[in-house]
């Protein structure tokens, strides 16, 4: 199953991922991106999902490339 990984330290809080894919991403209280329903692992947020859907577009649109999808 694919896993979405968000490197929180690199995130600048631009909100592009949340605007493109609000089913998976939101802006947290620290003004950085958050993966809804994720768990923390080594400073990164991770979430396994069956269908990456709009997350691919969020990955490609992130200006600091802090979002990855591992298959």
The domains of the chain are located at: 3-70
Question: Does residue 71 have a pLDDT over 90?
Answer: no
Q: What pTM did the predictor assign?
A: 0.93
- What pLDDT was estimated at residue 70? 95
Residues 6 or more apart whose CB falls under 8 angstroms from that of 56 comprise 69
What does the pLDDT look like over 3-49, one tens digit per residue? Answer: 999 999 999 999 999 999 999 999 999 999 999 999 999 999 999 99
In whole angstroms, what is the distance from residue 59 CA to residue 68 CA? 6
**Angle ∠(16,20,23) on CA atoms, nearest 5:** 115
- Which CATH number does the domain 3-70 belong to among 3.40.190.290, 1.20.1250.20, 3.90.700.10, 3.30.70.20? 3.30.70.20
Which band of pLDDT confidence, cut at 50, 70 and 90, is reported for residue 64? very high
Under 8 Å between Cβ of 69 and 56 = yes
Question: Does residue 61 have a pLDDT over 90?
Answer: yes
């Amino acid at each position: 199953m694919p896993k979405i990984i968000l490197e929180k330290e690199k995130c600048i809080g631009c909100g592009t991922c949340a605007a493109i894919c609000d089913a998976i991403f939101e802006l947290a209280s620290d003004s950085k991106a958050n993966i809804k329903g994720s768990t923390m692992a080594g400073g990164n947020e991770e979430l396994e999902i069956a269908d990456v859907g709009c997350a691919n577009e969020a990955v490609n649109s992130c200006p600091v490339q802090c979002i990855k999808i591992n298959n």
